[in-house]
A = this chain, B = another copy of it.
Amino acid sequence: MAERASESEMQVLNALWDEAPLTATDLARRIGKANGWTLATVKTLIARLVQKGAVTAEADGRRYLYRPAVDRAEAMGEESQRFVDRLFGGRVSPMIAHLAEREALTDADIEEIEALLRRLKS
């Protein structure tokens, strides 16, 4: 299952879910700048993820190609569950309500969620 990734580590995982394989340098280019991380920092994060078994490293010459070793949907589902449990006692609707109140939901979001729910009910 791999231990939980920290928030920073998640950024790396997310990048790899968007596209893999990537090298350390690729990753640094993609997420380093935005987070103000140096290449060294990104490397550390990668190393920790590999150690945790959340990312695999395939040798390619003298460097490595990294790939996510955990399923994106599953990891996200687990995280979401934990989160909703923690903040809302497991109840999703209060969370949506809060997001809505903060105007974090666009009309398009609402449409999308409604469509999703319709599908769920059938």
Contact = CB atoms under 8 A, between A and B. Distances in A.
Given A91-B109, A110-B117, A77 B104 contact: yes
Interface in A46-93: 73, 76-77, 79-81, 83-84, 86-88, 90-93
A92 B105 contact: yes
A20 interface: no
Interface of A is mostly: helix
A94 B97 CA distance: 16
User: Which range holds the interface residue count of chain A?
Assistant: 35 or more
B109 A92 contact: yes
B96 A76 contact: no
Given A7-B86, A110-B120, A117-B114, A80 B99 contact: yes
A40 interface: no
A2 interface: no
Q: Which 3 A-B pairs have the closest CB atoms?
A: A93-B112, A77-B102, A77-B98
